[in-house]
Amino acid sequence: EVQLVQSGAEVKKPGESLKISCKGSGYTFTSYWIGWVRQMPGKGLEWMGIIYPGDSDTRYSPSFQGQVSISADKSISTAYLQWSSLKASDTAMYYCARRAGYNYHYFDYWGQGTLVTVSS
């Protein structure tokens, strides 16, 4: 059974760093892109970026380029989303999702989400 399990909720202060994770299981982790999606409180879905764990090829949405960093450790089948200096506006639910295939354009499995709260 394919599963994406994300790390737990985080409460941080502005300016702090953070790294959240997404662990894949039930499939060959290195053969599928993993994307990250932001959902701000009461708002819609926004695509942030995507990584191919097989070779760490990473693409970012222009809105998030330079604001976050996406990485993966294929030895433990885990993808990461990282901030070096959080802002209050980073408060949101973050989902990881598996791209259905290398050249496919939809996301077939989603993690349960990680709630990030940034507040002084």
Query: Binding residues for other proteins, how many (CB under 8 A)?
Result: 22
Q: Which 79-98 positions form the footprint of other proteins (CB under 8 A)?
A: 95, 97
63 binds other proteins (CB under 8 A): yes
24 binds other proteins (CB under 8 A): no
67 binds other proteins (CB under 8 A): no
By CB under 8 A, name the one of 7, 10, 46, 69 that touches other proteins.
Answer: 46
Tell me the three-class secondary structure of the chain, residue by residue: CCEEEECCCEEECCCCCEEEEEEEECCCHHHCCEEEEEECCCCCEEEEEEEECCCCEEEECCCCECCEEEEEEHHHCEEEEEECCCCHHHCEEEEEEEECCCCCCCEEEECCCEEEEECC
47 binds other proteins (CB under 8 A): yes
Give residues in contact with other proteins (CB under 8 A): 37, 44-47, 50, 59, 61-63, 95, 97, 100, 104-108, 110-113
